[in-house]
Amino acid sequence: MRGQTTATILCTIGTRPEAIKMAPVIRAFQAAPWARCRVLFTAQHRELVDQMLRFFEIEPDIDLDIMRPDQTLVELTSRLLVSVHAAIGRERPDIVLGQGDTTTVLATALASFYHKVPFAHVEAGLRTGSLQAPFPEEANRVLAGHLAAMHFAPTLSARENLVREGIADDAILVTGNTVIDALLLAAGRDVPIGVELDASHRMVLVTAHRRDSFGEPIRQICRAIAALHDRFPDVEFLWPVHPNPSVKPVVEHAMAGCPRVRLCEPLAYGPFVAAMKRTTLILTDSGGVQEEAPALGKPVLVLREESERPEAIASGVARLVGHDPSAIVGEASRLLEDPVAYRSMARGVSPYGDGRASQRIVDAVGRYLGIGEVLRAAG
């Protein structure tokens, strides 16, 4: 590779958060004169990603059309590994990039390894320390991380996690999280939420989708939202419901008696950012939303027992509340009733980045491939 002035970069996307967090990286590669950027979309998610690709004006070069309704992990992993491996064989990239901790990332890292093509991991080093939680994401990111040649850590603590696991120091770069690049891009556009809400009401935004939340935890979350609905007649709840069959029917059934709980289809990124800007409070089990909410000055209650994103919790702008309805109702009520408690969590800190992570990634990949040296020598 060294000595060439161009390189083929294969950027992979499978699910909604990967589309959002890879969009600014793809755009930065597309703007780099030396990079031939190819976008591989596994379609582990279908409509959730299609709406994001439209929003960011990204056209995948390859679409593997993997998603099946109610897919199991083993079917998904096997189909992804075979298809991504074949796609890398056809594309023959100089480097492959993948983001986060989904099954798409695990399959991509392994398929790249089998091809002996370097894999660069975006959002590297997030850890809870328990391989079982979140399931299966912690295992996905540990495995993908150990197959990677380059590690783009969003924060210093993510870097420390990698160093503790024996990853070479010079293979890690702290870049910030590319989600902040995406957020700044979207926050600059004036997009309506697209759901009619009562302007005289305060708003609470809710999302939930994790496999760890399936079954009783999601029902507990619903019971907590119903209790908050009854307690706060001046609050409207907006809940864009994930299409997963283990989530959607449960939420629709449990929320049927709560007229101010406005369930809607998943929102495209612009409208969702508009909803985050408008809301008083966010309740979520999402990873990405935990990173975006602090940057927008919105308190976030994390509907999980653990988090791999300790920075916002340490800064006091996010709080782990788990699934227990009394804990959720207690913390949310305190924030809705006590302006001092609310202000202490609504401080607008952004521990996850400065909006320039994608450019750092592009520059580092160029250096890794020896492109910078060649261009400098030529210029």
Identify whether 354 is a catalytic site residue: no
**Residue 269 near ligand UDP by CB under 6 A:** yes
Q: How far is the CB of 231 from ligand UD1 (least distance, A)?
A: 29
Considering 18, 94, 123, 236, which one is annotated as catalytic? 123
Among 79, 209, 229, 298, contact with ligand UDP (rule: CB under 6 A): 209
Rounded to 10 degrees, the C-alpha dihedral 182/53/150/76 comes to 130
Contact pattern from residue 249 through residue 268 relative to ligand UDP, giving x for each residue in contact according to CB under 6 A and a dash for the rest: -----------------xx-
Residue with smaller CB distance to ligand UDP, 5 or 130: 130
Pairing of strands 261-264, 62-63: unpaired
Contact 20, 182 (CB under 8 A): yes
Is 209 assigned a catalytic role? Answer: yes
Return all residues near 365 (Cβ < 8 A) that are at least 6 apart.
Answer: 7, 9, 29, 35, 95, 97, 120, 150
Nearer to ligand UDP among residue 17 and residue 125 (C-beta): 17
Task: Give Cβ neighbours of residue 371 (< 8 Å, ≥ 6 apart).
Answer: 4, 5, 6, 7, 34
Q: Count residues contacting ligand UD1 (CB under 6 A)?
A: 25
Q: How far is the CB of 17 from ligand UDP (least distance, A)?
A: 4
Is the dihedral angle over the CA atoms 143, 242, 229, 317 positive or is it negative? positive
Q: Is 289 in the site for ligand UDP (CB under 6 A)?
A: yes
Strands 119-122, 150-153: pairing kind = parallel
Q: Which amino acid is at 302?
A: V
Q: Which is nearer to ligand UD1, 130 or 326 (CB)?
A: 130
* 217 is an interface residue for ligand UDP by CB under 6 A: no
What is the smallest separation between the CB atom of 270 and ligand UD1, expressed in angstroms? Answer: 18
Q: Report yes or no: 178 and 357 within 8 Å, Cβ to Cβ.
A: yes
* Radius of gyration, alpha carbons of the chain: 21
Site string for ligand UDP, 219-248 (x = CB under 6 A): ---------------------x--------
Q: Which two tokens stand for residue 350?
A: 């952004």
Instruction: Identify what 12 binds: ligand UD1, ligand UDP, none; CB under 5 to 8 Å per kind.
Output: none
Query: Does the active-site annotation cover 331?
Result: no
Contact 123, 178 (CB under 8 A): yes
Q: Could you say which of 137, 138, 212, 291 is catalytic? A: 137
Task: Pick one of 42, 83, 99, 103: the residue that binds ligand UD1 (CB under 6 A).
Answer: 103
- Report the candidate in 60, 61, 58 with the shortest Cα–Cα distance to residue 28: 58
Identity of the residue, 183 or 254, whose beta carbon is nearer to ligand UDP in the bound complex: 183
3-state DSSP of 142-211:
HHHHHHCCEEEECCHHHHHHHHHCCCCHHHEEECCCHHHHHHHHHHCCCCCCCCCCCCCCEEEEEECCCH
User: Catalytic residue at 137?
Assistant: yes
Residue 97 in contact with residue 150, Cβ under 8 Å?
A: no
Catalytic residue of the set 211, 223, 319, 334: 211
How many separate helices (H) and strands (E) can be counted in the chain?
16, 13
Any contact of residue 309 with ligand UDP (CB under 6 A)?
no
Indicate which single residue of 13, 17, 107, 352 sits in contact with ligand UD1 (rule: CB under 6 A).
Answer: 17
For the chain, the residue count is 379
User: In this chain, which of 127, 151, 209, 304 binds ligand UD1, going by CB under 6 A?
Assistant: 209
Choice between 77 and 207, CB closer to ligand UDP: 207
With binding defined as CB under 6 A, does residue 243 bind ligand UD1? yes
CA pair distance 127, 309, nearest whole angstrom: 8
Residues with catalytic function = 101, 123, 137, 209, 211, 242
**Can you give the binding site for ligand UDP, defined by CB under 6 A?**
16-17, 20, 179, 207, 209, 240, 266-267, 269, 272, 286-289, 292
**Can you give the binding site for ligand UD1, defined by CB under 6 A?**
15-17, 44-48, 67-71, 73, 76, 101-103, 136-137, 209, 211, 243-245
